[in-house]
Each structure stands twice: as structure tokens, then as C-alpha cells.
Structure 1
Amino acid sequence: MSTFWSIWVSVIVLGTIFGCWWLLLATRKSQTTDTETDRTTGHSFDGIEELDNPLPKWWFYLFIATCVFSLGYLALYPGLGNFKGLLGWTSYNQWEAEVQQAEARYGELYAEFGDTPVVELAENEDAMKMGQRLFANNCSVCHGSAGRGSLGFPNLTDDDWLYGGEPENILTTLRQGRNGNMPAKGMMPNMTSDQVDQVVNYVLSFSDRAKDPEAAKAGEAVFAQACSACHGSDGKGNQAMGAPNLTDDTWLYGSTYGWIKETVMNGRQNQMPAQGERLSEDQIQILAAYVYSLSN
């Protein structure tokens, strides 16, 4: 936060607190008496008159105590722009402390399964209950609570894997993450609009869905130049590179003419964040077993 906005926020916060304080004291002083009275303020509505009575003392002092508490809180914790508070508390530090407590408490439970092979672990009911919770907390926001994915996020319950679905592939993905990059127009940045149409039709021809057979025939040469380096000459992909198979019915970004054309024209970039720094090796082992179990 810049210095200007830090001062702006601080002025608004402190101004509000001291404004409330002044309002309480000013209202208190304007009272004609410190006890209940029959004198009215001159306001009346529907035959009901407003008496000029002061706030009950306990209520007045409670408001004052609230203002004092607010100032004390802002002195100890963040709340005034860039001022970090005398205690130096941050939400990140709080999270780290809670994670350390959780690791101390549950670390032994995770360690029970950490040395068990993924395939064997996938058949352990207790381990899978733990894996499901790890998945819900760390993976479901992208892949869905059931692991079925959505547009741009892979389905983990089928047998179509960009980088391979064997235990070691899944462990590597979890530890290191993945960075997918489909360059715009592939390896042929000077591709014309006609060539885009041709290569899209050629890709659709893998599943007998080409709109224009003649364009699809011409697109074979374009595909060989722009796409085959990653997807292979037969379009069946390359798991070592994360290049998808274009001949099946599993598509990460949609398989219609429009979706494929957009992919060719603009490219695709996606990222599977690494979990190696967030989860322990035992947790990754259990999580990998759970993901493996979804498609096995």
C-alpha cells in the first residue's frame, strides 16, 4: 500500500473513532440535566413526545469503552494503513503457527502411510479418507470436489492424462507442478486465416467431424508444420511434454470448431501449482494415492 493510501486509511479510521467519542461527549453535555426529566426536546410524532433524558450511565460508559478498546486494538494489530501493530501479528504468521500445530498433531498419522506404495495405499480405506480431505482442501477448487474438473481443469476420474496417470507421474505433478503452454498458431506464427481454418478442420477430421473435407485435406500439411512437433504426426499427443491427444473425445478447452479455432489462434497457458512446499512428503504420498484411486 502506498504512503498516500496508508495515511488516507488511517485518517478515516481514527477520524471515525474520535468522531464517535466527540459525539458521545457533545451529546452528553447538551443534556439539560443528568437525571430523568419531564422536559421534552420539542419533537413529537403521532402524539408521542421525545423526552430530554440522558443515556443511561452504563450505556454511555460502554460506548466510551468501545472507543478505548478500538484504539488499543489498532495499536496492537494491523488496521492503520501500513502500520503493522506492536505485536507484529499477520494472518500469514497465524497460518504458519496453525500449520505447525497441525503437523505436530497429525504428523504421526500421515507418517503411518508415507512409506506405503501408492497402488497399495489406494486400497486402504483409512488412508483414502485422509486423502479425500487433503484433496478437498488443496485440489477441489480447480478440479471439483469429485475430481471431474471443468473447462481448463483436467478430469482426474478418467484414463486420459496429459502427463501420465501412473503413480510416479502423479507424484511428480504434485511435487513440482506443471506449466502447460500451447503457443498461438503453434510453431507457425505467420499462419493465415485460411490455414487456421484448414488445421482446425484437419484436427476435427481425427474424429470424423470436419466441416470442410477439402480444408481438412489441405490442413494436413499445416498440421505437420505447426503442430506435429508436440502432438505427433498422428495427433495422439506426447505425455512427456503434456501435449494432449487430439484423436479422442477428451478436450480440456472444448472440442467444437469454435473452441479449437480459439485455441489455435490465441494459444493456451495453464499451471498446476507445485505442492512440494505446502505439503509434507507423507501428505503428498497419500494425496497421490487418492488421485490415483479416482481413475482406478
Structure 2
Amino acid sequence: MSKQKDKNQVETTGHSWDGIEEYNNPLPRWWLWTFYLCIIWAIGYSIAYPAWPLAKEATAGLLGFSTRAQVADKIASFEEMNAAVDAELAAADVTEVVVGSDVHSYGVNAGAAVFRANCSQCHGSGAAGNKGYPNLLDNDWLWGGTVDEIAYTIQHGVRNETDDARYSEMPKFGADELLEDDQILQVVEYVLSISDQEHDAVLATEGAIVFEENCAACHAEDGTGDIYQGAPNLTDAIWLYGGAREDVQESVYNARYGVMPAWGLRLSEADVKAAALYVHNLGGGE
């Protein structure tokens, strides 16, 4: 007697693989139409808006939409809103900007943005610096820490190729054989002694003579430095390249030659002054 077909049993597609049959369960029509509509919408979107990447840029889209243009429009609107105070800051003598005034408040806030975008990569997000990059929060400034001196340093930079850059050059006393190896050891011990670090007293005594003859012209006879030459104070605990014996020896032997860009070539006059106000407002400087 043949088996009667169950009305609720799903039919198969007729395909069979190793005795395994495939049920014929088509997708719901509503799901298929939703899927087809999504495909149509995606095609339309890729035609209307930037979508397909090419060698140099993406397809522009028929509507000409651009997120970059939106950002540019937003920036332009804010620049228009701040145009008057920005022009006032650009024309102002940075030393005469009154703390708490609209120009000063604008400058400090604008300078924070300038600093984050251009300066934080070297000086750190909090301006505390790093080895080889000065801490802008303390009172130890190679080229002076008044707001106008800071503005000049930002404007022209340090040891770059522009004519007005801050410039000084420490001799390579070891690499250029200006001093004998034993003289370098002596002067290193002397520098450690005037900075109140552990040192060899005998070598330091001999190093005092070496220092007076070769280093005092820039670092001053007492080692307190000279901001007009960018010569650091060697008597405090603040060291740009490290104050350990090996760091000082490296500085004497091969010298240091840090470079800072002339930001005046990249930033507006107002941005330079804003950055100076922001840095000075951090609490360091003079």
C-alpha cells in the first residue's frame, strides 16, 4: 500500500547529493522586494554621491556633495564671525594685549587650537615637552620667555633656513677635536658639580679651567647661560637633552642642534600671536 503524501510536507527541489535532498523553501516575497529595493537604492546612491574610489580620488557624484566642502563652509562661517577680533589681534602689539580682554580671551582659545594642530607633536599635548623638545610650562627659556620673545620664536623658529631665525651653534668639542678626551671628561665633571650632581671633585677642579676657556663665553662664567645666545643654564635641574653624565658628555662631544620651523611662513599673523598668548598663559615664561 503506497504512502499518502502529507499535505504539510515541504516539497524538495528534486536535487540530491549523496542521498541528501534540498527542500524547496523560497524566501518571502516581502524580503525579496526589500532586498531588490536596497540594490536599486545603492546603485542610485553611488551615482548621486561620491562613492567609487579611483586612482587619485573618488567619483564625484551627480549631486556634487562633499563633506570637505561642508567643513570648509563651517570654517568659513566661523572665520567670518571672528573676523573683527582676529584682525584686532593681528594688528595688536602682543605685549599690550590686556589679560581678560576679548582679544586676549580669543587669542588664548584660538592659540590652544593652533598649538594642538601644529606644536603638540613636539612639545606634547600638555606642552610639557620631551627629550630634545623644551618644556613650555616652566621658567627655563633658551631664547627668553616674555610673550613677545615667545611670539618671535614662533614666527621665525630656531636654526632653520630663514634669515631671522634664532640661531646659535655649539662647537663639537670632541668630534671636531677641539678638546682632548681628558679635557672633555674634566669639563663634564665640572658641569655636574655646578648643577649639584655627584661628580669627581679632582676632575671638576681641572674642568673649571676648561670651562672658563671654552664654554663661559656662551654659558656665562657661572654657567647660568645667556638667553640672547640660546645658551642654556647649566646650574639648574632642567636639562633639554638630559643631565646624566653620559648625556652631558654627548652634548660636549657632539653638540646639539635642535631645529624649529618658522611658523610665520605657515600661519597667519593672528595665529602666531594667538599661539604666543596661549603658551605664555600656560604659566611658564616671564
- What TM-score, normalized to structure 2? 0.66
C-alpha spacing 1:119/1:183, structure 2 compared with 1 (3 Å): closer
Determine if the alignment matches structure 1 residue 152 to structure 2 residue 132: yes
Give the superposition deviation at 1:114: 4.0
Residue of 203, 220, 236 corresponding to 2:208: 220
Is the CA contact (8 Å cut-off) linking 2:174 and 2:184 kept in structure 1? no
Is the CA contact (8 Å cut-off) linking 1:188 and 1:226 kept in structure 2? no
C-alpha spacing 1:65/1:259, structure 2 compared with 1 (3 Å): farther
SS of equivalent residue, structure 2 residue 136:
coil
Residue of 53, 61, 68 corresponding to 2:27: 53
SS of equivalent residue, structure 2 residue 259:
strand
Give the superposition deviation at 1:131: 3.0
Q: Which has the higher contact order (CA 8 A, sep 6+)?
A: 2
Equivalent residue pairs, number: 252
User: In the alignment, which residue of structure 2 is the partner of 1:129?
Assistant: 105
Gaps of 5+ in 2: 1-9, 18-22, 160-166
Residue of 189, 192, 196 corresponding to 2:176: 189
> For each residue in 1:196-250, what CA deviation from the matched residue of structure 2 results, as whole angstroms up to 9, or x when unmatched?
4333212111123242122223333544565445434443323233221112222
Residue of 256, 259, 280 corresponding to 1:268: 256
User: In the alignment, which residue of structure 1 is the partner of 2:268?
Assistant: 280
Distance in 1 of aligned mates of 2:80 and 2:110:
17
129-138 or 156-165: bigger deviation: 129-138
Distance in 1 of aligned mates of 2:43 and 2:184:
66
Whose Rg is larger?
Answer: 2
- Structure with the largest fraction of helix: 1
User: In the alignment, which residue of structure 2 is the partner of 1:202?
Assistant: 190
User: In the alignment, which residue of structure 2 is the partner of 1:62?
Assistant: 38
Of all paired residues, the percent bearing the same amino acid is 33
The AA in structure 1 aligned to 2:276 is A
> For each residue in 1:55-106, what CA deviation from the matched residue of structure 2 results, as whole angstroms up to 9, or x when unmatched?
623324424653675577356xxx4334576699999998877655543331
C-alpha spacing 1:50/1:265, structure 2 compared with 1 (3 Å): farther
159-168 or 264-273: bigger deviation: 264-273
